Amino acid sequence: MAVKPEEFNFAKNDQFKTAMIPGKFARAMRTCKIWQFVRFVIINLKMLVVVSKSH
């Protein structure tokens, strides 16, 4: 059976063995335009709060 892309790096290096590597769904969501638009609005709002707390 072919190795899943997210599992490929685990075998490469001991450092990677204990890391969290995103699977297919998490990777897809990172570039999903609709979901990322929602995140864009939320991150901006969160950043504005931090900016306003800092001035």
Partner 1 sequence: MARLVVLGGGVAGHTAATFAADWLGKDHEVVVVTPNSKWNWIPSNIWVGVGEMSKEEVTFDLAPVYEKAGITYKQAKAVSINPEGSAKKAKPFVTIEYTGQGKAGHSDEIEYDYLINATGPKLNFGATPGLGEGSNLGQHTVSVCTADHAEHASHELTKIMDKMRKGQRQKILIGTGHGMCTCQGAAFEYIFNVEHEIRKAGLRDMADIQWISNESFMGDFGMGGLHMNVGGYVVSSRIFTESLFAERGVSYITGAHVNKVEKGKVHYELLDGSMGEESFDFSMLIPPFAGVGLKAYNKAGDDITDTVFAPNGFMKVDADYSPKAYEDWKASDWPRTYQNPTYKNMFAAGIAFAPPHIISKPAKSVNGTVINPTPPRTGMPSGIIGKAVAHSICDLIKKGPDAHLHEASMAEMGAACVASAGKGWLDGQAAAMTVYPVVPDYDKYPGTGRDTDYTFGEIGLAGHWIKHILHYLFIYKAKLKPFWKVIPE
Query: Which one-letter amino acid corresponds to residue 25?
Result: F
Q: In angstroms, what is the minimal distance from the CB of 45 to partner 1? A: 11
Q: What does the block give as tokens for 16?
A: 């990677």
| Residue window 9-48: x/- pattern of binding to partner 1, with contact defined by CB under 8 A | xx-xx-xx-xxxxx------xxxxx--xx-xx--xx-xxx
Instruction: State the Cα–Cα distance between residues 10 and 8, nearest whole angstrom.
Output: 6
Q: What is the DSSP letter of 19?
A: S
Binding site for partner 1 (CB under 8 A): 6, 9-10, 12-13, 15-16, 18-22, 29-33, 36-37, 39-40, 43-44, 46-55
